Amino acid sequence: MSKDKKTVNSEFDNVLAQQKKAAKKEAFKQSIPLYLMLIPGLLYLVANNYLPMFGIAIAFKRVNFAQGIFKSPWVGFSNFEYLFKTKDAYIMIRNTLAYNAFWIVFDMCIAIFIALCMNEIAKRKIAKLIQPIICFPSMVSAVILSFLVYAFLSSTYGYLNATVYADNPVNWYAQAQYWPFILTLVHIWQNSGQSSIIYMASIGGIDKSIYESARIDGASKFQQIRYITLPLLKPMITLMLLLSIGRIFNSDFGLFYQVPLGSGLLYETTQTIDTYVYRALLVNNNISMSSAASVFQAIIGFVLVLFSNALVKRINPENSLF
């Protein structure tokens, strides 16, 4: 009897296994179109993010194009020294960190504010009209952006010197103290609209019945934002903050190089790691040094993300990345 029972159980297990196998095959067949749609994105990810990682070796070599990358001599960490031994090291690292640290907080606050305002617009047609307008600046290239800024700041034909400072024109491209404010305004104008889309999408995913219950209880708009919207946005805010911290040692090259028109008089407030590396590459024609700078930025960014994520995980594990 016991043998018959074991045989029946074994056959039953086999049938279940075959059914699960058939179900997996059927699910795979149904998912084939989705996998095909995934292929272009994966190819782009591999080509753009993973294949270039083999170039990290360049940062530790003195590349000689006659010998080739693999046969070029190893030089250890000497390519990294130029970032810290140059007289501009303090200026470019200070500017890169200061701008990014301020912009991370400021961008997040403005993007959330725009998303909250857009969410409160009752007429959807007006909202759909405003969204493309606020997102348009993010599609403007750095070259066009530099001409737009020049149209305002030109010492001869600029709008500001022709109107506001007509009696005492200002040579904006020769005075570095103005550029932290100019670059911040241009950066916010260009990026805040695009950043707000993510928060708009998150707000749109909040259950509307929560707001209805709050309104029934007599909660005002401000109270709904304070006690419902912002707490429910906290995971997205944390995610965006962690991703931004990972790029705190990188700068918008187009903004810092094109908009100031490469003026040497402005280096005190416009020189960043990226622009310095580019200028050093033009002068020295040494790709090993520029590669070392990129590796330095990537490693520091990675360490900062790990540290920030560990801090968030310690405070609130639910909002951490991993």
Q: Which tokens in the block code for residue 262?
A: 């490469």
Residue 167: C-alpha distances to residues 37, 160, 170, 171, 261 (Å): 61, 11, 10, 13, 25
Q: Is 209 helix (H, G, I), strand (E, B) or coil?
A: helix
- Look at phi and psi of residue 61 and say left if phi exceeds 0, alpha if psi is from -120 to 50, else beta: beta
Using pLDDT thresholds of 50, 70 and 90, give the confidence band for residue 178.
Answer: very high
% of the chain exceeding 90 in pLDDT: 17
Q: Is 166 helix (H, G, I), strand (E, B) or coil?
A: coil
Model pLDDT, residue 39: 92
* C-alpha span between 183 and 185 (Å, rounded): 6
* Residue, of 177 and 66, whose pLDDT is higher: 177
- The count of other CB atoms within 10 Å of the CB of residue 247 is 16
Model pLDDT, residue 1: 47
* C-alpha span between 300 and 293 (Å, rounded): 11
Burial 207-239 (b: 16+ CB within 10 A, else e): eeeeeeebeeeebeeeebbeebbeeebeebbbb
DSSP string, 8-20: HHHHHHHHHHHHH
Sequence-ordered alpha helix ranges (H) in 124-263: 124-135, 142-153, 159-162, 179-204, 208-216, 221-224, 230-245, 253-257
Kindly state the average pLDDT of the residues 123-135. Answer: 77
Using pLDDT thresholds of 50, 70 and 90, give the confidence band for residue 62.
Answer: confident
Using pLDDT thresholds of 50, 70 and 90, give the confidence band for residue 4.
Answer: low
Model pLDDT, residue 181: 94
pLDDT digits (tens, 9 = 90+) for 265-280: 888 999 998 888 888 7
The closest alpha carbon to 243, from 126, 107, 138, belongs to 107
Instruction: Give the global pTM.
Output: 0.79
Using pLDDT thresholds of 50, 70 and 90, give the confidence band for residue 6.
Answer: low
* C-alpha span between 270 and 267 (Å, rounded): 5
Answer whether residue 263 shows pLDDT above 70. Answer: yes
* C-alpha span between 105 and 93 (Å, rounded): 19
Which residue reads 């050093």 in tokens? 280
Which residue reads 């590349």 in tokens? 63
C-alpha torsion 135→136→138→142, nearest 10: -170
pLDDT digits (tens, 9 = 90+) for 12-29: 667 777 878 888 888 888
- Look at phi and psi of residue 141 and say left if phi exceeds 0, alpha if psi is from -120 to 50, else beta: beta
Kindly state the average pLDDT of the residues 230-252. Answer: 87
Model pLDDT, residue 247: 84
Kindly state the average pLDDT of the residues 299-314. Answer: 85
Q: Is 74 helix (H, G, I), strand (E, B) or coil?
A: strand
* Average pLDDT across the chain, whole number: 84
Burial 249-271 (b: 16+ CB within 10 A, else e): bbbbebbbbbbbebeeebbebbb
Q: Which of 60-64, 75-79, 81-85 has the lowest mean pLDDT?
A: 81-85
